[in-house]
């Protein structure tokens, strides 16, 4: 796991805010955080995200405006991969099984049908490669 993959809870919060807003100043980030730390702490966290290659910034008047460099889909795949590796012995099967156990009653019939179709499409793709 590279340093860029390792984000603290606060860094993940900031990334979520930047993905939601598209771009934000340190003050905007602070106002959108639950139980936000002080302004200088937010600036420090943003600086760490810049160092890790997740975020960049540009000047806008007297302030910096920060924006994500990594597409949300790519970042979410990386984070999910780390969760699967850490908590599910690197087994997608175990991860999906756990997700289904916790949310099976929350999934509509339509969503379950979509999942079934996705699995069938993956099976077909694998069989076509053989």
Q: What's the confidence (pLDDT) of residue 2?
A: 45
The structure tokens 């929350």 sit at 106
The shares of helix, strand and coil residues in the chain, as percent rounded to the nearest 5, are 70, 10, 20
> What CATH architecture is 3-68?
Orthogonal Bundle (1.10)
Q: What's the confidence (pLDDT) of residue 94?
A: 92
pTM: 0.67
Structure tokens at 98: 């756990």
Q: Which residues of 69-99 are buried (b: 16+ CB within 10 A; e: fewer)?
A: ebeeeebeebeeeeebeeebeeeeeebeeee
DSSP, collapsed to helix, strand or coil, labels residue 27 as helix
Full pLDDT tens readout for the chain, 130 residues: 344 457 888 998 999 999 999 999 999 999 999 899 999 999 999 999 999 999 999 999 999 999 999 888 888 888 888 889 999 999 999 998 898 888 888 888 899 899 999 999 999 888 888 7
Distance between CA 126 and CA 13 in Å, rounded? 37
Distance between CA 5 and CA 93 in Å, rounded? 23
Q: What's the confidence (pLDDT) of residue 40?
A: 96
């Amino acid at each position: 796991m590279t340093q860029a993959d390792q984000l603290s809870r606060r860094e993940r919060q900031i990334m979520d805010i930047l993905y939601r807003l598209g771009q934000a100043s340190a003050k905007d980030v602070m106002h959108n955080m639950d139980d936000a730390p002080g302004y200088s702490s937010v600036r420090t966290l943003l600086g760490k995200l810049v160092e890790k290659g997740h975020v960049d910034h540009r000047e806008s008047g007297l302030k910096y405006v920060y924006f994500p460099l990594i597409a949300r889909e790519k970042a979410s795949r990386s984070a999910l991969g780390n969760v699967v590796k850490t908590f599910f012995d690197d087994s997608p099967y175990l991860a999906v099984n756990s997700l289904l156990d916790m949310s099976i009653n929350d999934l509509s019939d339509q969503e379950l049908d979509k999942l079934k179709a996705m699995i069938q499409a993956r099976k077909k793709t694998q069989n076509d490669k053989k």
